[in-house]
């Protein structure tokens, strides 16, 4: 994909993006409008930025939307979700990664979890998900958890209007 930085898309660009992603043409046009005004969390920016910084090109943004499109395969969503939760980049979800996920979720909600509550939740997650009993969740274990959780697909999907 090119590096289009203009404020509007040509029909050829929309066609090309539709061929390269799981998005429909109308979704690409909507995504372009969203990209002009909505900031994203630092973690998402770092994950999808082709420059590995906190900036997304429109192409990076389309890649992100394509991953979270309802049409994208669950295996793709799972791969990106795992990378999103793997804060330290060690290809495992350890206690610190899981605590950071909980911190992020707690900030989004009305209540704040105590350290003891977070520790209890993390221990329960590991008890339920760490099949190998290694103290961490690897990608295969994460996939196993996701397969048992149909809500995952809904929470990692959207539909542009």
Ranges of residues in the chain with a pLDDT under 50 are 1-5, 37-40, 109
Residue-wise pLDDT tens digits, 81-121:
899 999 999 999 999 999 988 887 765 545 677 889 989 99
What are the residues whose beta carbons fall under 8 Å from the beta carbon of 129, sequence distance 6 or more? 137, 141, 142, 144, 145
Question: In angstroms, rounded to a whole number, what is the distance separating the alpha carbons of residues 116 and 84?
Answer: 24
Q: Which domains does the chain have, with CATH numbers?
A: 11-67 (no CATH), 74-155 (1.10.238.10)
Asked if residue 9 lies in contact with residue 28, where contact means CB atoms within 8 angstroms, the answer is yes
Task: Enter the pTM of the model.
Answer: 0.73
pLDDT at residue 97, rounded to an integer: 95
Longest Cα–Cα distance in the chain: 55
């Amino acid at each position: 994909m090119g590096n289009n930085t203009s404020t509007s898309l040509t029909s050829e660009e929309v066609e090309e993006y539709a061929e390269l992603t799981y998005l429909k043409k109308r979704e690409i046009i909507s995504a372009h409008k969203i990209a002009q005004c909505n900031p994203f969390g630092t973690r998402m920016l770092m994950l999808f930025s082709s420059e590995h910084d906190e900036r997304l090109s429109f192409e990076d943004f389309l890649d992100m939307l394509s991953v979270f499109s309802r049409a994208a395969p669950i295996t793709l969503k799972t791969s990106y979700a795992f990378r999103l939760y793997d804060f330290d980049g060690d290809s495992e979800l350890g206690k610190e990664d899981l605590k950071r996920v909980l911190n992020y979720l707690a900030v989004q909600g009305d209540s704040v979890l105590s350290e003891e509550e977070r520790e209890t939740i993390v221990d329960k997650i590991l008890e339920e998900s760490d099949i190998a009993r290694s103290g961490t969740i690897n990608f295969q274990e994460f996939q196993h958890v996701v397969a048992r959780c149909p809500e995952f697909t809904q929470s990692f999907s959207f539909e542009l209007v």
